[in-house]
Homo-oligomer: A and B are copies of this chain.
Amino acid sequence: MADWLPTLRTATPEEGYALAVKLARVAIRMTQPDAAVRERLRPEYAEDSGALIAVSQVVATHFATVAAANDYWRGAP
């Protein structure tokens, strides 16, 4: 996982949101490094509305950081 986060800058808000999703996933991968276990858990939480909302909460927290890092893309059109 070397060099997975060179910068928080993104060209657009959409790319910033995608980065937030990635940031949310990496902590899960670091806590559970076994890909087979993660694959086994995936269908479980992907069909659990509580888990889906909780993932969305993590993404929201990271998106706040990424958006601030990009000065909210104020220079964009």
Contact = CB atoms under 8 A, between A and B. Distances in A.
Interface of A: 3-9, 12-14, 17, 21, 23-28, 30-32, 37, 41, 44-65, 67-69, 72-74, 76-77
A68 B55 CA distance: 22
B64 A64 contact: yes
Count of chain copies: 6
Given A31-B52, A65-B67, A67-B68, 15 more contacts: A3-B14, A7-B13, A8-B73, A21-B30, A31-B45, A49-B51, A50-B51, A56-B58, A57-B58, A57-B61, A60-B61, A60-B62, A61-B61, A64-B64, A65-B68
A75 to B, nearest CB: 11
